[in-house]
Amino acid sequence: MHRQIRSIYGESLTLLIDLYELTMAYGYWKLGIAEREAVFHLNFRKKPFNGAFAVAAGLETALDFLERFRFSASDLAYLSSLQDSHGQPLFEKAFIEYLGDFALQCDIDAVPEGTPIFPYEPLLRVQGPILHAQILESALLNIINFQTLIATKAARICWAARPDPVVEFGVRRAQGIDGALSASRAAYIGGCESTSHLLAGKMYGIPVKGTHAHSWIMAFDEELESFYAYSQVLPHNCIFLVDTYDTIAGVKHAIKAAKRMREKGAEMIGVRLDSGDLTHLSIEIRRLLDEAGFPQAKIMASNELDEHLITDLKHQGAKINVWGVGTHLVTGKEQPAIDGVYKLSAIRDAKGQWQRKVKISEQLAKVTDPGILQVRRYYNGQGYMADMLYDIHTELGAECRFVDPFDPTKWVASADGTGYQDLLVPVWRGSKRVYRSPPLEQIRAYASEELARFSPAMRRFLYPQPYFVGLEKSLYEMKLQLLTRAHKR
């Protein structure tokens, strides 16, 4: 698996930290509680894109980041230069020296990339000294949030396009260099067949595909001349872009070029549309190609596509069979961020006893779940049935009851004939990585296979069927007790 961070960034990325994380770390150190063991969970609260699920991504990049987590000399020099409101050093020299010797010591469990995941379910559980766990917050959120968002968008787009392939076309519209790389990687996990992005192809082994731009055609006096020239240069890679001047005339020129290619033993792959009425034009193009003896030629479409437009075009009878998707995919355009959070859920007290913690809010969606959590996914012969969050220190019986935390009248009980799997697996222990990510192609296949084990109704774009996620009964009761106690303070 390619190491993105160490290949692209020579400089330390350890300061991918919000200032408040380091000021809190300084406080823990100064008060002598830096080594107190704590547990944080990374999850999201809202279903992305008004759907029902997300696809976990970014774990390999996160582990790559953790393997390089060391405060460099330049990091320490910069931190030493920071001042408080009185013009004094923000951090005392002994703390800077402490950071210079810092070596991460945490136990991290994570959901494997490609796993469908739901609101409030931990994608990561980080357990270790509170100072260590705290300073990882922003970096882990940055990496996991974005790649999960884009993998989810890709899964939706590929579902709409099925069984046609989707090519990720987004490098030019992505948010920066790292955004382009991370988006290409995540889009492939979500189901895209290939990318036009060569650096992502080189780094991750993603298949690369592309055509030519309108500028190629405009560089010649005649469109037909440009097609002849392109077929001479790349006779086995010809998808002609036909909408530079007049789309139907462009298709007829592509057919002339394809016939000349056939005489020389080469075959046109197809044509690409990038504007206009895609349904009407693709139907007419299919007729022209078939009548000219090119029934196998593909019709590719681009032009600001997303899952909704692709679905609509298919319902209209469009004859498109390859989809190039860029801006909406790599930016998550209608929802450019997933609301991932990283919250403390348990800490040992001065006597070494675990104290479960809960954050309350006037917004019910922002109330956190206490404990040291695991996600158990139940299934039967038809597929996945429901997920249960439980505290790993709870002794579970043969039958478990779990409750909808937002509506306690709704609950599910595991029964005979159901199996289960726990989603969070060990990925980091102490100072070492203990998990090796599968090849990216395998992660992509796993994501597709896992999504197929849920009801197809869950993947609808309009009013998707909800999937049940509940709190194990004793965990739910403990949460209520903690909330009651907090409200009395």
Q: What is the pLDDT of residue 416?
A: 66
Q: In the chain, which stretches have pLDDT less than 50?
A: none
Task: Please give the pLDDT value at position 70.
Answer: 95
For the record, the structure tokens of 97 come out as: 């020296």
Percent of the chain with pLDDT over 70: 98
pLDDT score, position 1: 54
pLDDT one-digit tens code per residue, 172-227: 999 999 999 999 999 999 999 999 999 999 999 999 999 999 999 999 999 999 99
CB-facing half-sphere around the CA of 467: CA atoms within 13 A: 29
Residue 364: what pLDDT? 82
Domain formed by 4-150+336-487, architecture: Alpha-Beta Barrel (3.20)
The reported pLDDT for the residue numbered 44 is: 97
Q: Is the peptide bond before 112 cis (omega within 30 degrees of 0)?
A: no
What does the pLDDT read at residue 417?
67
Other residues' Cβ atoms within 10 Å of the Cβ of residue 476: 21
CA nearest to 210, candidates 247, 240, 174: 240
Report the 3 state secondary structure along the chain: CCCHHHHHCCCCCCCCCCHHHHHHHHHHHHCCCCCCEEEEEEEECCCHHHCCCEECCCHHHHHHHHHCCCCCHHHHHHHHHCECCCCCECCCHHHHHHHHCCCCCEEEEECCCCCEECCCCCCEEEEEEHHHHHCCHHHHHHHHHHHHHHHHHHHHHHHHHCCCCEEECCHHHCCHHHHHHHHHHHHHHHCCCEECCHHHHHHHCCCECCCCCHHHHHCCCCHHHHHHHHHHHCCCCCEEECCCCCHHHHHHHHHHHHHHHHHCCCCCCEEEECCCCHHHHHHHHHHHHHHCCCCCCEEEECCCCCHHHHHHHHHCCCCCCEEEECHHHHHCCCCCCCCEEEEEEEEECCCCCEEECCCCCCCHHHCCCCCCEEEEEEEECCEEEEEEEEECCCCCCCCCEEECCCCCCCEEECCCCCEEEECCEEEEEECEECCCCCCHHHHHHHHHHHHCCCCHHHHCCCCCCCCEEEEEHHHHHHHHHHHHHHHCC
**Percent of the chain whose predicted confidence (pLDDT) is above 90:** 92
Chain segment 388-421, per-residue pLDDT in tens: 999 999 998 878 999 999 998 999 998 766 899 9
pLDDT of the residue at 7? 66
